[in-house]
Structure 1
């Protein structure tokens, strides 16, 4: 049996493809990624992994918006986006376009940070204080936003959560380059240390919401998996 998928690439992609190869003789894998560097990393991984020989890769160096403008009629049995929908221009439109390219009997698989975790609560705090306009126009999005979009499109889904923690000890240290980069990542704000008001609010939130275990400051992280099945 042959199956078709397209993905927004990340480390988990090859794992998913290998699982599919346990049930299908071949896989057509369309990869949509605007970064040439990320595509080259994925290609290098593919070249080194001989178990992926039955996979035909179709590399598309495009943004999501550019990709959907091509009006391709190909239908896919699996479409997944793992921790990438923070950065698309229009979350609702992207999910709608993904759903339209899904074949009957296919699955759409999305992973996002949960609205219940420490990161999302930080994003809401930053949004309330600094963001003008619609939060969904920024990268400060979470799984709750995805579910709200699916509900609006009357698409049913199931969810699962995976809880872990992020070591944010370096964030609260003065002059820590590692802490600076991590704080930028957590708050989705580049060069945080050049934004003293944002930095102060972010650190206040982290200190007030992290747990200290064995001298390590840990911020809760909950990843939510959302899976929608398209009935014929």
Structure 2
């Protein structure tokens, strides 16, 4: 098996960044964090002299920084530490710059692990130094691992008592689930080798006997521009959604037509002339 690329780079990174801005994904996840995390922080921190956080696949760090800022405000007298696992050098550098310009984060000691989560697991096991954590989050990253049940099991094993693992993933009813499972053979050829939805993750959590709370976040993504060939932003979004360097150059005309038809008629609704893709998320809060 060929090794997967180490995170987003090049045009894939541009597509990822455009998607984040266009979908307001960070804003949506921050809303969930605002509703749920403060109560969880109080429970997690009970009778603990320090709270240790691990971000897995943290990207540019926007959500990590938000979570850490809330924790810092809720636990002003409790020392925090943050470990970050992210394979993209460019995104890691973005995160480090964000820390430098955010006063509330500058007193938190960070440990940077610029590697895949598989390499982090290997390193931890080789060193035999298994640091444990009070809160671990894996936000929109399980698509990129070879064996996600094993990955979940490993990171869950790093939880301290009375701690939580947050998994944010595309919902089993979303347009992503329909697109990637319909065209699994054609699209699962690069960093995503076998698409799974939150529904598949729940199956494995149940098989592992892990308890979790489930929160569905319904939302849509305007993909109208994807149906105008030659629209730069529409094509960049198509590239990201199908994980192609160039959608119209990488796929056959028949495959292009099939995907566009599915996106329009099975993954989306049309309202006032806008095509709104089902972009729903599921947040799984797994107990230690």
TM-score (norm 2): 0.74
Separation in structure 1 between the aligned mates of residue 227 and residue 194 of structure 2, nearest angstrom:
24
2:95 to 37, 42, 48: 42
Which residue matches 1:123? 180
Aligned-residue offset at 1:36: 1.0
Separation in structure 2 between the aligned mates of residue 55 and residue 132 of structure 1, nearest angstrom:
38
The answer to whether residue 195 in structure 2 is matched with residue 140 in structure 1 is yes
RMSD over equivalenced CA pairs, Å: 2.0
Q: Does the CA contact (< 8 Å) of 1:139 and 1:188 recur in 2? A: no
1:15 to 40, 43, 66: 66
Q: Which has the higher strand share?
A: 1
For structure 1, the 5+ residue unaligned runs are none
Separation in structure 2 between the aligned mates of residue 117 and residue 189 of structure 1, nearest angstrom:
20
Aligned with 2:112: secondary structure? strand
Residue-by-residue CA offset, 1:53-74 (whole Å, 9 max, x unaligned):
3311111111111100122311
Which residue matches 2:260? 203
2:279 to 198, 208, 221: 221
Q: Which has the higher helix share?
A: 2
Aligned-residue offset at 1:186: 1.8
Residues 85, 132 of structure 1: alpha-carbon distance in 2 compared, 3 angstrom cutoff: closer
Q: Does the CA contact (< 8 Å) of 1:111 and 1:225 recur in 2? A: yes
Residues 86, 132 of structure 1: alpha-carbon distance in 2 compared, 3 angstrom cutoff: closer
Q: Does the CA contact (< 8 Å) of 1:192 and 1:198 recur in 2? A: no
Aligned-residue offset at 1:191: 2.6
Q: Which runs of 4+ in 1 moved over 4 A?
A: none
For structure 2, the 5+ residue unaligned runs are 1-48
Separation in structure 2 between the aligned mates of residue 17 and residue 77 of structure 1, nearest angstrom:
12
Aligned-residue offset at 1:51: 1.2
Q: Does the CA contact (< 8 Å) of 1:26 and 1:54 recur in 2? A: no
Between 190-199 and 57-66, report the one with greater CA deviation.
190-199
Separation in structure 2 between the aligned mates of residue 219 and residue 126 of structure 1, nearest angstrom:
17
Q: What are the equivalent positions in structure 2 for 1:33-182 lying under 5 Å apart?
A: 33-70=86-123, 71=125, 72-127=129-184, 130=186, 138=193, 140-182=195-237
TM-score (norm 1): 0.91
